[in-house]
Amino acid sequence: MIRSKFPPKSKWKSLSQRPSASSASLESDVRGILERVAQRGDSALLELTEKYDGVSLNTIAISEEEIFDSESKVSAELKGAIQLAKGNIEAFHRSQVLKEERVETVPGVSCWREARAIERVGLYVPGGSAPLFSTVLMLGVPAVLAGCSDIILCTPPDANGNVNPIILYCAKLLGIRKVFKVGGAQAIAALAYGTESIPAVSKIFGPGNSYVTKAKELVQEKGVAIDMPAGPSEVLVIADSTAVPEFVASDLLSQAEHGPDSQVLLLSDSNRVIAEVLEEIDRQLPTLKRRAIAEMALNASRVIQFENIEQCLQFSNYYAPEHLIIASENAEEYVPLVQNAGSVFLGNYSCESAGDYASGTNHTLPTNGFAKAYSGVSVDSFIKKITFQNISARGIKEIGPAIETMAKAELLDGHANAVTVRLKSLSNV
């Protein structure tokens, strides 16, 4: 890991650089994939699956029978863990389903908002180096709670042309029946434009590699909504003198094993804590099955020492991490200072893995600094809010003259007249 000590603010921009950046060749490649799928539909999907996933398929659709049969292929222990996680995720996200009150802005003018589910949504679940079945829960639970009537799930096939039964089991638990074995940018293209098998959706959700991320960015140009801009996963840990170095090292490594372009940062005001955490990383790293991947991520990751924890939090807000861990016995005292972060983990026992799987919060979060302006996925991500207003005769009398005055000042006589004719009709009553 790259070490820095007491960096001035003039250096913060360079210290906040993520390890990967979009290239012109990547954009060109992805645009080509999008155009190919838009023009040729399913046949393009089959060709691209053979090219990128190395498997020849006859169909991309997964039958309901295969979805139902998945349960028998998942161990009882794992099913129990998944059901516990599903219950916690549902409990947390159900609290987000709120009904707003009507507001009478003046007598006779009533305004309110009502939520409506996005009718058809697309969920992308990565399955490249590891089957991320937890993402099915993280995206599917709020989609179901929001009331989305048509949920389409895409995930890449394995080397044998199958989808991991754990992913299918999670889909079954949520009542998702439209599942397709297609991955990468071609899956995003199918969800955006539609093919013979996959219907076009109104909004696309889910993480992915650089191809998936770029594809999501580009389909927005065609009017397809996405959950958020995203990139490789990241965690920033702020550790004070009460942190447990063994725990901190495990959190950094758990994120580093995501991929070679992941980034982890350790911030502390304690030279002792930093030294002990680095020793723990050296001790724990050889035990990881994905050690080589974690090592590559660590090479582009940072350890930064600041004068105090308040400065650590200032830098964290500048960096705007996807995951922020405050490893301290006094973590809640620092909550008011947190301004930019996707999801925050407080205290020595709040590991980031808990949020990834089973605490209840969502793990689909903004990366690459987008936490400065974006939130993680929630029930709100799957709905839109429609405003309503009901204006009575008394109400138009109350606000009509102000509307006329403002419309005329903007030289919009038609707007003013729409009020004037109503006021005149009332003066004749």
Same domain, 216 and 313: no
Q: Does some domain include residue 383?
A: no
Per-residue pLDDT at 21 exceeds 60: no
pLDDT of the residue at 231: 78
Q: What would the pLDDT profile of 189-206 be if each residue is shown by its tens digit?
A: 999 999 999 999 999 999
Residues 53 and 196 in one domain: yes
pLDDT at 372 (0 to 100)? 96
Would you call 270 helix, strand, or coil by DSSP?
Answer: coil
Sequence-distant (6+) residues with CB within 8 A of 166 are 70, 74, 78, 82, 131, 133
Residues 195 and 328 in one domain: no
Residue 318, marked binder: no
Do residues 185 and 42 share a domain? yes
Residue at which a domain ends, from 338, 360, 382: 360
- Which pLDDT belongs to residue 188? 98
Buried/exposed 82-91: b ≥16 CB within 10 Å, e otherwise: beebbebbbe
Question: Is residue 230 very low, low, confident or very high in pLDDT (cuts 50, 70, 90)?
Answer: confident
Question: Are both 120 and 89 inside the same structural domain?
Answer: yes
Is the pLDDT assigned to residue 391 strictly greater than 60?
yes
Residue 356 annotated as binding? Answer: yes
The reply to whether 417 sits in an annotated binding site is no
Residue 76 structural domain: 24-229
Average pLDDT, stretch 293-309? Answer: 96
In a domain, 45, yes or no: yes
- The set of residues, in sequence order, having a beta carbon less than 8 Å from that of 413 and lying 6+ positions away, is 407
The reply, when asked if residue 258 is annotated as ligand binding, is yes
End position of a domain, from candidates 214, 229, 244: 229
Question: Cα(270)–Cα(311) distance, rounded to whole angstroms?
Answer: 13
Q: What is the pLDDT, as a whole number, of residue 79? A: 97
- pLDDT at 229 (0 to 100): 82
Cβ atoms of residues 153 and 180 within 8 Å:
yes
In this structure, are 329 and 402 located in the same domain? Answer: no
Task: Please check the confidence at residue 273 and state whether its pLDDT lies above 80.
Answer: yes
What would the 3-class secondary structure string for 289-358 be?
A: CCHHHHHHHHHCCEEEECCCHHHHHHHHHHHCCCEEEEECCCHHHHHHHCCCCCEEEECCCCCHHHHHHC
Query: Does a structural domain hold residue 382?
Result: no
Is residue 58 in a domain? yes
Q: How confident is the model at residue 406 (pLDDT cuts 50, 70, 90)?
A: very high
Residues 166 and 187 in one domain: yes
Residue 62 falls inside a structural domain: yes
284/257 same-domain check:
yes
Count of domains observed in the chain: 3
Question: How much is the pLDDT for 141?
Answer: 98
* 129 is an annotated ligand-binding site residue: no
Residue 72 known to bind ligand: no
Is 311 annotated to bind a ligand? Reply is: no
Rounded to whole angstroms, the Cα distance separating 73 from 228 reads 34
Q: Return the CATH number at 112.
A: 3.40.50.1980
Give mean pLDDT, residues 220-241.
Answer: 92
220 is in an annotated binding site: no
- What is the residue-averaged pLDDT of the chain? 95
What is the mean predicted confidence (pLDDT) over 213-236? 92
User: Could you give the residue numbers annotated as active site?
Assistant: 322-323
Average pLDDT over residues 21-33: 86
Residues 100 and 223 in one domain: yes
186 and 279 assigned to the same domain: no
* Burial (CB count within 10 angstroms: exposed 0-12, middle 13-18, buried 19+), residue 272: exposed
